[in-house]
Amino acid sequence: MKNNINSTNCLALTVKKEYHLTIVRNRTIKAIAVSGKVLFVVFVLNFVNLFV
């Protein structure tokens, strides 16, 4: 019975760890995507500003 409880706790901790890693990965990808869009818009606005 004790071994079963330890196994369950270990599985729960593994799932929790994977969930946190997924959240971190998604936030990192989102931050990179937003930064890329901002850089693109700044580049386009500076390019347009050369001709105005």
Residue 3: pLDDT band (50, 70, 90) is low
Q: What is the mean pLDDT of the chain?
A: 85
Of all residues in the chain, what percent carry a pLDDT higher than 90? Answer: 56
| CB crowding 7-45: b at 16 or more within 10 Å, else e | eeeeeeeeeeeeeeeeeeeeeeeeeeeeeeeeeeeeeee
pLDDT tens-digit map of 13-36: 777 888 888 999 999 999 999 999
| Run of H or E residues at 1 | none
- At residue 2, does pLDDT exceed 60? no
What sign for the dihedral angle of Cα 15, 20, 21, 23? positive
- At residue 38, does pLDDT exceed 80? yes
**First CA to last CA distance, the chain:** 77
What was the pLDDT predicted at 40?
97
The amino acid sitting at 3 is N
